[in-house]
Structure 1
Amino acid sequence: MITSALNQNFTKILIANRGEIAVRIIKTAKALGYQTVAVFSDADSASPHVSLADYAVHIGAANVSESYLDIDKIIQAAKQTGAQAIHPGYGLLSENAAFARACRDNNLIFIGPHSDAIELMGDKQQAKQAMLAADIPCIPGYQGAGQSNEVLRQEAEKVGFPLMIKAAAGGGGKGMRLAQNLDDIETLFNSARSEALASFGSEQLILERALINARHIEIQVVRDQQGNCIHLGERDCSMQRRHQKVIEEAPGIDISDRLREKMGKAAVKVADSCDYLGVGTVEFLLVQDGQEERFYFLEMNTRLQVEHPVTEMITSIDLVKWQIDIAHGKALPLTQEQVSFNGHAMEARLYSEDPANNFMPQSGQLTFWQSPESQLQEQDIRCDHMLTPSACISRFYDPMLAKIIVWGQDRDQARRRLIQALHQTHLHGIKHNKDFLLELANSRAFTGQDDESSVHTRFIDDNLKTLKSCNQKPLTAGQWALAAVLNYLLQANHRPSQALALPLSKQMLLHCDTAPEESKQQSISITPLSSSENISHQGFYRVSLDGEVIEVTVIDFGENNFTCQINGLRENYFFSRHQQQLTISGQDFDFSISDISYHNRQSSTGASSDAGQGGQHFAPMNGTVVSVEKSPGDIIQQGEVLFTIEAMKMELPVKASCSGTLTRLNLEKNQQVASGQLLATISAEEEVTE
């Protein structure tokens, strides 16, 4: 039951989190008149949430186990600063029952549900058993105590395929594997256990029948200390990749008032059944087959959701304010009948990942950041983020960088505004998924124009081959010309208004790493032309490549932005420089080039060629080696797992690209590796004997 501590008054709140959610909570808390305390690790000392808060406490090393997951350090930080309440945000300790208990044991108000509800809903085994007892529809599966591979295999045969293997104590796609049949199922059990243990400290698994082409619909619920409970409608989170949400929206597509009421009542029943307190989300899988609609309980998130802003947009409710008010003991200000929904909202998650390389997480130094809010300045566009133009993205944390949220009078207007906001979002220094988000938002299935294809939880997986942003793309002639002119100006270290009086041609050899192998380099000739006296602020250039001549006019030139006209088409661009690399972004592209005119072309291409040999295996991302499966001298078959790397809450097994003998292994368990580092070499043989 809820302790009396929740009735205490508080004026100072410690936010036990980091990144964009810490910034978002601090802003609301300060607007309400509360003092705020941030906590930070070594890696986050320059993070915006640290400077935004009234106080900040250093709590340890970058690794979350030594900082953000250390309950004792966070409790001590609250005592040290005199904070009377703690807001956990989402992720990290937000659904940790031991943390909620520790807060109350130390007379600190935990702004969230009591530990019993967290414990029940945090364990998928117990939660599913409780929901079945409460007559909530659940997906057929197995949630028993027997956890050996033999028992799980037997139960998998009973449940049937396709089958979802899930971490009992987890969420967010961690410790989750899809099995199509019994082949390799024990390997899937083992990898799911390993990831579950690393992410949640528990190896327990449950099995569920996989509902292919189902939609992921979640209901926002809120329950106060007096036992009043309401729902705030649904969010459609079906656009997912690796079980991680990518684009969310509210309300859901084709959700009738009757279905909304039915799912809403079920969600309220779930919250009442566990004596919930505060803001939470009940997730369902929805199957719409012709005239039949069936929904099944998936899980309850006992915290604020990442995608909560879309609900805020259509209800005009600040959910963080409601969380704080409920923690004070205040009753809900609205009844269910008073809740109204206005318009449509969408949220896109900007991730530091490389879509062209299987969405590998990216870390490193940013060189430029431009939020869409600063460009569009509209109340209907919001960007929750933790970025600065020179932020360092750490490999220790989740790869989500920002959330771009928009509102429209209807779904189509919201979708257009989302595309508009993405066009005005610019991020340099690391690879990201902006182009991927634009492609999804423009897809026929997402716009509802394709009767044969609709959005469901496996839509991205099923359509990866046709999504162009998942492949390396060659630069257009116009983009090469744009890069050449900007490179010329920056190297000459003068503004267009100071252009040379007489034409002076220059030859360049530009290199683009992200282009396909056959089109990474481009030889270019650029000639600046004299300017008219009437428009002397403009710079005129003639660019020649592959026999094509392109006219480029530089209209304006700033510190990180410039306006160009290419063959008559004018557009604004952003740029940044880091060492020898120049990054340029427009509304629908983002690429980096380097000028290798003064380098030996043979050695440059030779290094690239050597790196591509099949027997060499490189680190696909910055990370930590969590397992090593083979040893030097082992006979290797193509496709066998050599080692596994973990970064940004994701484990990636690296498999042998060819058969042969493992002649070199430059790694060991728990070693830190850098992206592109040579880790293993297989000497291929004509015949590999067993």
Structure 2
Amino acid sequence: MFNKILIANRGEIACRIMRTCRRLGIATVAIYSEADANARHVRLADAAYCVGPAASRDSYLRIDRIIEACKQSGAQAVHPGYGFLSENEAFAQACAENGIAFIGPPVGAIRAMGSKSAAKALMQTAKVPLVPGYHGDNQDAAFLQQQADAIGYPVLIKASAGGGGKGMRIVEKPEDFAASLASCQREASASFGDARVLIEKYLVRPRHIEIQVFGDTHGNIVSLYERDCSAQRRHQKVVEEAPAPGMTAERRAEMGRAACEAARAVGYVGAGTVEFIVEPAGAAMNFYFMEMNTRLQVEHPVTEMITGLDLVEWQLRVANGEKLPLTQAQIPLRGHSIEVRLYAEEPEKGFLPSIGRLAHFRAPQASEQVRIDSGVDEGDEVSPHYDPMLAKLIVWDETRERAIERMLRALGEFEIAGVGNNIAFLARLIGHAEFRAGRVDTGLIARDSAALLPGPAPVPATAYAAASLWCARQEAAAARARTPPSDPHSPWSEADGWRLNGALTRRLEFRGGETATTLSLRYGDDGLQIDGAPAAAHGENQYLVGAERFTASVARLGEQLHVFSAGAHHVIERIDRLAHAGEEADVHGGLVAPMPGKIVALAATVGSEVEKGAALVVMEAMKMEHTLLAPARGRVVAYLCAVGDQVKDGVELVDFELAS
């Protein structure tokens, strides 16, 4: 076995690989960009090397610098994780030429499956069913439109070298094809250095089911069963589960055989995933080859939970020349596992990424049934340069129904403040009636967005009460901290509201969303009261108001109080009128950048009249394109930015005049 490996990745996957290496006694070497100098994966590694500035192309994608880090550190092998260079044949070749083991498939397999078009041609030869489409080399825009017209709309444009939902667009009608193609090619070129695309018939309400395969250098290939990854938004997976709901033993065996044959066709070695798009047809499920990912997948933990295996350990053993630890008949299948991806994003704003400092981060207690694969710790910065995934939450239980309930409980125990996050959205999705029933397809989130993204809920009275009691307790603690050591019994060290001839009544003002609330705190001989009801705080997060006892956690960020209670997260602002006396409100307008990013296109003409929803600016941030739309009918007076500009969050981009 290897003594030391370098992990050519970052974030939660780098941390997860280190966990297995630590258990096996293997030293780990991290690489990092200047933006990641204090990242969690750097802190966990035995050694770390800086490979360049923040931009991925200048750091995590620099093959020469990574190879040099291997040589300097004495690493015998490289684990590429996923993303970045994990499916790059040039990287695998460079490792081989420098005597470094690549913990992944052979160069030939990466080459064969690296192009979606070439992979589909290979599968067609192997008689694996394919979705109707064009997978050829002709990339002329007019020709591609002709192919789309012949296939029939809706069609799906996909980056030939892509993945993760990047460089992918659904086109509903012919007149939208040209703009969608151009956007797809820009995003594909930026993310993968390859602007080639393929065109496929877009299947309505399909499921996305993939098969985990594993091969060794001795000719053995096995299937580790399937994962259902149908719950997606903008073609990116949000929830994954194993096994797939409604999967029969016969169909599982059929899909497993097809996946293994696909792997054999390219002489596959290591961990890989054969992805199928599945369309229900009566009692059966028709499945079509979509692509093969020649790496470990983000969602591999659900496979580990239902099999009890460590896939990273298998990768290490196979890369070391060992045989697969188990035969197909020996691989267990037990219970049900669900994984959700926790992102720093704002679902209510179209899932825009959120950046900033992770000021408060509390995860549920890990156990054999609850697993957290995290790439961050409290206090870490969420950078605009990389994917905004914070962590993965994975649960296991004996049945799918029990796994759903366990996931909902675990989501309710997560506390994140400082950046936007998708926890509430995930809870609504997992609890959705269609998801509970196993009727999940790739369009569920978009189709039922009204229920999944209902807007902010009113702040409950218990949250305001917890905020009030927390403030009172903090003030008391601050008063005690100011007590001189020489006078420990000073009455000025107490902030309990005691009065000689009566009771103190205070009024605390809060704002939750658009609603202002005032609570009355009365300090008397009989204890504290909130709006006339007896109240008390016990321990760190136990509260009592009237006859109701409840649990709440409160974190303060600036003037905001973040209250976590009953699985919900409420943001409350403390209004201190004395502190803000004389300040004027900050009033501003304009079409502004919703996040830091790069301007890639100006979609309208200066002076033009546009309708509400018209595209005005296209930005690139965190490897994805985001289109800013006109908020109403009006006129583009001027652009305050240019193509290629790097802009900050909140910078005004367009001088826009509303129609009278």
Residue in structure 1 matching 2:388, options 399, 407, 414: 399
Selected match of 1:461 from 446, 449, 455: 446
1:667 paired with 2:641, answer yes
| Letter matched to residue 524 of structure 1 | T
Q: What is the aligned counterpart of 1:541 among 520, 529, 533?
A: 529
Structure 1 Cα separation of the partners of residues 525 and 311 of structure 2: 57
In 2, the alpha carbon distance for the partners of 1:410 and 1:531 equals 54
Secondary structure of the 1:184 match is: helix
Q: Deviations over 1:528-570 (max 9, x none)?
A: 33365xxxxxx73314xxxxx665431223xxxx221244332
Out of 427, 444, 457, the position equivalent to 1:473 is 457
Counterparts of 2:566 and 2:300, CA distance in 1:
27
User: Structure 1 residue 633: deviation in Å?
Assistant: 4.4
Deviations 1:610-639 (A, max 9, x none): 54xxxx211122322223345654554543
TM-aligned CA deviation for residue 574 of structure 1: 2.1
- Does residue 90 of the first structure (1) align with residue 96 of the second (2)? no
The residue that corresponds to 1:440 in the other structure is 429
Aligned to 1:505: 505
2:189 equivalent to 1:210: no
Aligned equivalent of 2:341, options 349, 353, 361: 349
3-state secondary structure, aligned to 2:498 = coil
2:646, 2:109 → 1: CA distance?
A: 38
1:657 aligns with 2:631: yes
Give the equivalent residue in structure 1 for 2:551: 572
Q: SS at 2:99's partner residue?
A: coil
Normalising by structure 1, we get a TM-score of 0.89
1:60 Cα deviation (Å)? 1.5
Return the letter of the residue paired with 1:529. Answer: Y
Aligned residue type for 2:521: T
The offset of 1:356, in angstroms, is 1.2
1:385 partnered with 2:374: yes
Corresponding residue for residue 67 of structure 1? 59
Does structure 2 retain, via aligned residues, the 8 Å contact 1:367–1:577? Answer: no
Tell me whether 1:198 sits opposite 2:190 in the alignment: yes
CA deviations on 1:290-331 (whole Å, 9 max, x unpaired) are 223210001111000001011001111100000000001001
RMSD: 2.1
For residues 315-353 of structure 1, the C-alpha deviation after alignment (integer angstroms, 9 at most, x for no partner) is 111000000000010011211111120111111111111
- What letter is aligned with 1:301? N
AA of the residue aligned to 1:122: G
**Correspondence list, 1:201-240, <5 A:** 201-240=193-232
The answer to whether the 8 A contact 1:481-1:550 is kept is no
Percentage of pairs with the same residue:
40
**CA–CA distance in 2 between the matches of 1:128 and 1:276?**
16
Equivalent positions of 1:261-660 (< 5 A) are 261-373=253-365, 377-448=366-437, 454-467=439-452, 469-491=453-475, 493=478, 499-502=496-499, 503-512=503-512, 515=513, 520-530=514-524, 540-543=528-531, 552-557=535-540, 562-598=541-577, 607=586, 610-611=588-589, 616-630=590-604, 632-660=606-634
Tell me if structure 2 keeps the 8 A contact 1:485–1:541: no
Any idea what the Cα deviations from partners look like across 1:502-551, whole Å, max 9, x if unmatched?
44333343234xx3xxxx2414133133365xxxxxx73314xxxxx665
- Please give the alpha-carbon distance, in whole angstroms, between the structure 2 residues aligned to 1:555 and 1:506: 21
The one-letter code of the counterpart of 1:254 is G
SS in 2 for 1:372: coil
- 1:627 maps to a residue whose letter is A
Is the alpha carbon distance of 1:140 and 1:52 closer, same or farther for their aligned partners in structure 2, counting shifts above 3 Å? Answer: same
2: CA distance between counterparts of 1:79 and 1:465?
54
Of 301-310 and 639-648, the range deviating more from structure 2: 639-648
Determine the C-alpha separation between the residues in 2 that align with 1:154 and 1:75: 44
Q: Secondary structure at the match of 1:369?
A: strand
Relative to structure 1, is the Cα distance of residues 264 and 673 closer, same or farther in structure 2, using a 3 angstrom cutoff? Answer: same
| One-letter code aligned to 2:132 | P
Find the residue that maps to 1:383 and give its secondary structure.
Answer: strand
- Give the SS at the match of 2:230: strand
Amino acid in the other structure paired with 2:467: A
State whether residues 238 and 455 of structure 1, in contact with CA within 8 Å, keep that contact through their aligned partners in structure 2: yes
Change (3 A) 1:508 1:170: same
Letter in 2 for 1:678: E
Q: Distance in 2 between matches of 1:43 and 1:154?
A: 44
How many pairs align?
Answer: 643
Matched residue of 1:312: which SS?
helix
TM-superposed CA distance for 1:597, in Å, is 2.7
Q: TM-score, normalised by structure 2?
A: 0.93
SS at match of 1:239: strand
Q: Which residue of 1 aligns with 2:104?
A: 112
Encode CA deviations 1:485-509: one digit per residue, 9 max, x unaligned: 3234435535899522244333343
Contact 1:658 1:682 in 2 (8 A): no
Q: Is the 8 A contact 1:499 1:530 kept in 2?
A: no
Task: Determine the structure 2 residue equivalent to 1:5.
Answer: none
Match of 1:546 in 2: none
